[in-house]
Structure 1
Amino acid sequence: MPTALRPDPEQPVDALRGVGPSLKALLGRLGIFRTGDLLLHLPIRYEDRTRVVPLRELRAGEAALVHGQVAAARVVYGRRRSLMVVLEDNSGHINVRFFHFSKSQQAALQPGRYVSCFGEPRFGSQGLELVHPEYRTFSEPPPAPESALTPVYPATKGLGQGRVRSIVSQLLKLPWPDTPGVPYQTLAFLHQPPPDANQADIAAAQERIATDELTAYYLIMKLRQRARARHSAVPLPRSQQLGRVLHDALGFDLTGAQRRVLAEVLEDLTREVPMLRLLQGDVGSGKTVVAAFAAIRAAEHGCQTALMAPTEILAEQHYLNFSAWLEPLGIPVVLLTGSQTTKERRIREEAIAEGSALVAVGTHALFQHSVEFKQLALTIVDEQHRFGVHQRMALRSKGGTPHQLIMTATPIPRTLTMALYADMDVSLLDELPPGRQAIDPRVVEATRRDEVVEAVRNAMQAGDQAYWVCPLIEPSDQLEVAAAEPSAEELRARLTGIKTGLLHGRMPSDEKARVMQAFKSGQVQLLVATTVVEVGVDVPNASLMVIENPERMGLAQLHQLRGRVGRGDKAAHCILLYKGPLGEVARKRLQIMRESVDGFFIAEQDLQLRGPGELLGTRQTGEQQFRVADLSVHASLIPEVIARGEDLLENQPELARTLLQAWAPLESGHLSV
């Protein structure tokens, strides 16, 4: 006998009428397992179906509800076969078109039938028309419209809006209490706002819920920090002073910021409490050498370090740097990537298992079950937001609880750091090494492409090297944007006598390594590439970068790309070759790139323009995203959230537990690593 539905957020979702195994599985894809999850599955927008709009008043691009009677219906043949229905009311008429239709639809849309339609009018060959609107047919005039705004929910394939609305409406009929931590009445308001609710009312309700969600997230971060304090790691006190040997051999002085951050990291390593430190530094600020000193400290105690990078190009570059710095000190370094042969991998895995390889550098290959460390004491994760959360957890479990150093060249606004990384200590490299060249940014329309090609020719003839970056590998039928393969062919043909290379993510790893080595050694003068060069590539002689279609990239990515030049002693230039006309956001983006080289200012602007998902990489990795909170809108809530979170932890633990149970009953262990 089915369980009686009651106002209990812990009830399984299949307690709802009509939720069988297949619908339960679809809801599970959206993270909905309990009735409480469904309550928190809030609309992303609303449609106004509370008013019937006369056909004469319809406007292109403005979705509306219309009622009318079918005056004519026929199949028409043009470029595509379609069913054309003429709908009329007392004020006028409109064409309703269906490109995909069945015989039963034809039969239902016969002249004389009444129709209720909701859709967005657009201009067709005969004026305004509705294409594939939502509709219902009637034998008499349609009933009065809805009394509330119609919610539009996040959905998944196979799960339509109607089914979501139906099961949510069952929940809203229950007598939910309005308890602290779970404001059910506010949730009900957001699911079904009354017709007189305006955007300000909805925004205020969303802000109340966002405050709860952000507070719950902050609580999880702080509880994770407390839990880490109960674990133990191998303490790594000062020992053989091999770091001093490296410092003397480097050939350059550390910046004041590097010395400060290195002291923070090495102090953390002396403790039994596992380090979890986020190292933020703008492009070229010298994070890698700080990581090398930390690896030396582990090696002095016979312990191992795992350094994980998101791409093979970056892993290989880290391997070359660490080998050059550490192997003269007697610290063996191995590289482990997915493209190595089985024999190569086995030899390296054996060295890791025996403990003779004190530093292992790699990509996702470090996560494989076949990789076992003898005594892993330190993990270093570069560009951590590019890894899935489960991958980072797998690396951590390789050594029980090793110390962790998380590095990112993606500047994260301070407000986000305080909230999203509340479980970490944070170090900031806010000083560039001496000798780093200022980069001259120029924004140029694509109509002047020939001039840009000539500028590249002049730079090559002067002995410089350059990047030419394209968004795509090969041309797309859907997107009119530059692609690396045809661009490389064109530039080779136009720039005769200049050695041009091609680099993109689909190339075999050995070929990518060969091309990069040829570029680093100067054999290749011009490197045509996709954004695979965004992270970590270091060629000091490269002083010019051309980025095609920058209007299609985010600010953080553009800033990362630009940071590939200006690493030597030559003046550096970055040409943003855009295709007009530009939208408002794209224009602002390029203006910011032209006016600022400050990564943290750019990150703040990127947050405002795009929101935190893309900035932090969460959309790419599929990590936990906020259900309601939008940090581009709600960042101002962070100080209040932190104060509230601290108060709940210290003075109201029961309310804290209620909040956590509502927002993260199962997934709290995976919200951050």
Structure 2
Amino acid sequence: MPQLSDPIRYLKGVGERRAKCYEKLGVDTVCSLLRFFPRTYTDFSETKPIMECELGSVCCIRGRVFHKQGEQRIRKGLSLYKVFVTDGHSDMTVTIFNSRFQYEALQMDKEYCFRGKLQGNLIRREMNSPEFIDPEKNGMICAVYHLTEGLTNRVVSGHIRQALELWGDRLEDVLPEQMKQQEHLCHLRFAYENIHFPQDAHALSVAKYRLVFEELLTLQLGLGLLKSRHREETAVIAENCDISGFEAALPFTLTEGQKQAVADGLRDFRSGIPMNRLVQGDVGSGKTMVACGLGYCMAQNGYQTAVMAPTEILAVQHFKTFSDILEPMELRCALLTGSMSAKQKQAVREGIATGKYQIIVGTHALIQDTVSFARLGLVVTDEQHRFGVNQRAKLAEKGERPHRLVMSATPIPRTLALMIYGDLDLSVIKEAPKGRQPIKTYLISGKKRERAFGFIREYIGKGHQAYIVCPLIEEGETEAFSVTEYAQRLKRTVLSDIKIGVMHGKLKSAEKEELMGRFAAGEIDLLVSTTVVEVGVDVPNAAIMMIENAELFGLSQLHQLRGRVGRGSVQSHCILVSDNPNEQTRERLKIMTQSSDGFYISEQDLKQRGPGDFFGSRQHGLPQLKIANMVEDMETLKRSQRWAKKILSCDPELALEENRGLKTLVSELFERGTQENG
């Protein structure tokens, strides 16, 4: 009997070669093929007469083939075929390049729907290489998939249709009947058939709602299980939670938000249940001080704190911050990174194991099997979306259910954060530390670029540093500036005497860290970079951030980039450069000149652009969702969350037979997330 877990290569027409192509797309079994959801759809249902279509526009025309012209060889390797089509009133020429298969698929005197860009003049109309379907054989809405070399939409659709015919009856519908009735959820077989081969727009909508609901329910159940497991008792209980000595030793006063976040953590420490808390704050809001205060408390109770950062340079920065504050209080701090010598690592590891160090800061090096802690009480993870689920868990496993603190500098509206980080309690720091000057932000056109360069030169002349961010790396990619070509032009012209560094994602991690280290040390005056500089090092001397083609970034990303400056006492500036004439785009960018509140900016960004800037492809370290969208499907997310709470209140471990299928879905989703994020 065929199983959904069967390898995809056994499907007719797949074989070893195509199976390797599918593997690149994360598809290896029949089940993963059925869950390989379309990225978009081509709608052939709204057709227009030929003469009503605007020249240069993409449109859909229904027409009958009345004449076919044989192959014309233009040159070696290029041949074309012409097919003449009528809608009953006007004619159109369809040109097909290098595809005898498509040419022969169009039969004389048959009607087809053609979709493509209509070109020509007042008299003659034509379409080059349009998509087309036979309306008698196909649905009018056709799926479009993510592809790789060796696979086409037609091939993928054929394999999915075959899989549905052979395995469709084996799809297990695990959602409770009561839920399906109350939420108007269709049957699973109908959902899979109509997500891939929609009967019409309504059937597609019904299918998508069912599959989105199921995925979000699975996510919420998984987060609920994680949260309940973190609620097991812990031996790490802090009897002494007096941190007045820590506050008195600081050269500044904590903000109210910082004090509240610390108080939340101390309350968790006394509870006997492991803390699992997210401290979310705007750029530069002082989240590290919260971790510092809680680390101080752990040390007063005889426990160690481990702080894991995503890059070596960030780890060094955190180590310096913790050392500067805690070493004078006679707490010993250690740094453990991959680039240290074997001898240095061994010495640090011995100090960690014997309890010599109370605060240990490091990179992924902390989770290696060779590292053991004397008495681990608190695990702090910075920028948690940069780590996989299993990496975070592995560090916590080095203690006996230690407390966990996660820091994130991506401001997300509270309601959404509670949904995304459903397994975490939430502390929010709204204010910036005292003494920080708001960054002055300007929106200019390219005509004022030379003046901006003069402004940068003036600041560098006073001993400060600057960033210029460009959105693309390669030359010739749209009209956006290429970072390498841009930097070379600066070196040749206006800023020829300035020390310029160039950073982009194609550099190796070690090269990026070395470059960022030189910039932090003041050896580079101007860093021309792509967005790899977005999350990163504190360089108090950097006072200007200039962003080219600002319209290509989301507001949240612009806000993150702007937060790279304004870390010191000098007045800092952010210059957004855009020649985009679209009024809506300019209004969107003006929000940056009017507000420095990351939470307000994130709300505006969500309204205008959706979740792309927050959740990218990795969903902030959570399992990667296949079909649901955290923002567009917010209402469905809320409904699924209510059902998840209801189910878990009756069956906290999903141990009952009736919930066995749901538990399997949760395991599959979170195992996939661990593989993808780890």
TM-score band, normalised by shorter chain: 0.7 to 0.9
Shift of 1:74: 2.7
CA contact under 8 A between 1:305 and 1:379: conserved in structure 2?
yes
Q: Closer, same or farther in 2 for the Cα pair 1:356/1:559, shift >3 Å?
A: same
**1:296 and 1:195 mapped to 2: Cα distance?**
59
Shift of 1:661: 4.4
1:402 maps onto 2:390 in alignment: no
**1:361 and 1:124 mapped to 2: Cα distance?**
66
Once structures 1 and 2 are overlaid, which stretch shifts more, 122-131 or 589-598?
122-131
**1:48 and 1:170 mapped to 2: Cα distance?**
27
Query: What is the CA deviation profile of residues 100-157 of structure 1, one whole-angstrom value per residue up to 9, with x for unaligned ones?
Result: x4xx64994899797957542354899632327467xxxxxx7834356434456666
Shift of 1:316: 1.8
1:218 maps onto 2:215 in alignment: no
Shift of 1:96: 2.2
Amino acid at match of 1:165: R
Q: Closer, same or farther in 2 for the Cα pair 1:620/1:368, shift >3 Å?
A: farther
Shift of 1:48: 4.0
1:182-581 map, 5 Å: 183-185=185-187, 188=190, 191-192=193-194, 197-198=200-201, 202-203=204-205, 206-207=208-209, 209-238=211-240, 243-462=243-462, 464-472=464-472, 475-492=474-491, 493-495=493-495, 498-502=498-502, 506=507, 508=511, 511-512=514-515, 514-519=517-522, 524-581=524-581
**1:254 and 1:631 mapped to 2: Cα distance?**
34
1:605 maps onto 2:604 in alignment: yes
CA contact under 8 A between 1:339 and 1:509: conserved in structure 2?
no
Shift of 1:486: 4.2
Q: Closer, same or farther in 2 for the Cα pair 1:88/1:509, shift >3 Å?
A: closer
Q: Closer, same or farther in 2 for the Cα pair 1:14/1:508, shift >3 Å?
A: closer
Once structures 1 and 2 are overlaid, which stretch shifts more, 284-293 or 443-452?
443-452
Q: Closer, same or farther in 2 for the Cα pair 1:108/1:534, shift >3 Å?
A: closer
**2:595 and 2:11 mapped to 1: Cα distance?**
57
Q: Closer, same or farther in 2 for the Cα pair 1:643/1:173, shift >3 Å?
A: closer
CA contact under 8 A between 2:442 and 2:575: conserved in structure 1?
yes
Shift of 1:207: 3.8
Shift of 1:433: 1.6
- TM-score of the two chains, using structure 1 as the length reference: 0.82
Q: Closer, same or farther in 2 for the Cα pair 1:454/1:78, shift >3 Å?
A: farther
- Matching residue of 1:144: 136
Amino acid at match of 2:223: M
Once structures 1 and 2 are overlaid, which stretch shifts more, 421-430 or 486-495?
486-495
SS at match of 1:62: strand
Shift of 1:86: 3.0
CA contact under 8 A between 1:229 and 1:273: conserved in structure 2?
yes
**2:594 and 2:548 mapped to 1: Cα distance?**
19
**1:405 and 1:427 mapped to 2: Cα distance?**
10
CA contact under 8 A between 1:280 and 1:428: conserved in structure 2?
yes
Once structures 1 and 2 are overlaid, which stretch shifts more, 655-664 or 415-424?
655-664
1:90-101 map, 5 Å: 91-99=90-98, 101=99
SS at match of 1:160: helix
SS at match of 2:83: strand
SS at match of 2:58: coil
Amino acid at match of 1:360: I
CA contact under 8 A between 1:82 and 1:98: conserved in structure 2?
yes
- Matching residue of 2:69: 72
SS at match of 1:631: coil
1:119-138 map, 5 Å: 119-123=115-119, 128-131=126-129, 133=131
- Matching residue of 1:627: 626
Gaps of 5+ in 1: 136-141
CA contact under 8 A between 2:500 and 2:528: conserved in structure 1?
yes
Shift of 1:283: 0.9
Amino acid at match of 2:92: H
**2:205 and 2:248 mapped to 1: Cα distance?**
58
Shift of 1:323: 1.7
- TM-score of the two chains, using structure 2 as the length reference: 0.82
- Matching residue of 1:138: none
Q: Closer, same or farther in 2 for the Cα pair 1:518/1:114, shift >3 Å?
A: same
Amino acid at match of 1:615: F
CA contact under 8 A between 2:464 and 2:525: conserved in structure 1?
yes
Q: Closer, same or farther in 2 for the Cα pair 1:651/1:334, shift >3 Å?
A: closer
SS at match of 1:447: helix
Q: Closer, same or farther in 2 for the Cα pair 1:25/1:398, shift >3 Å?
A: farther
1:61 maps onto 2:58 in alignment: yes
CA contact under 8 A between 2:459 and 2:465: conserved in structure 1?
yes
Tell me how large the CA RMSD over aligned residues is.
4.1
CA contact under 8 A between 1:52 and 1:66: conserved in structure 2?
no
Amino acid at match of 1:162: G
Shift of 1:499: 5.0
1:662-673 map, 5 Å: 663-668=665-670
Shift of 1:408: 0.5
1:163 maps onto 2:155 in alignment: no
SS at match of 2:237: coil
Q: Closer, same or farther in 2 for the Cα pair 1:106/1:609, shift >3 Å?
A: closer
Once structures 1 and 2 are overlaid, which stretch shifts more, 401-410 or 90-99?
90-99
Q: Closer, same or farther in 2 for the Cα pair 1:617/1:151, shift >3 Å?
A: closer
**1:84 and 1:414 mapped to 2: Cα distance?**
58
Shift of 1:309: 1.6
**2:147 and 2:486 mapped to 1: Cα distance?**
39
SS at match of 1:120: strand
Paired residues in the alignment total: 650
Once structures 1 and 2 are overlaid, which stretch shifts more, 313-322 or 349-358?
349-358
**1:638 and 1:450 mapped to 2: Cα distance?**
48
Shift of 1:355: 3.6
Identity %: 34
Gaps of 5+ in 2: none
Shift of 1:87: 3.4
Once structures 1 and 2 are overlaid, which stretch shifts more, 291-300 or 494-503?
494-503
**1:107 and 1:392 mapped to 2: Cα distance?**
55
CA contact under 8 A between 1:176 and 1:185: conserved in structure 2?
no
Q: Closer, same or farther in 2 for the Cα pair 1:232/1:35, shift >3 Å?
A: farther
CA contact under 8 A between 1:435 and 1:568: conserved in structure 2?
no
**2:51 and 2:477 mapped to 1: Cα distance?**
35
Amino acid at match of 2:224: K
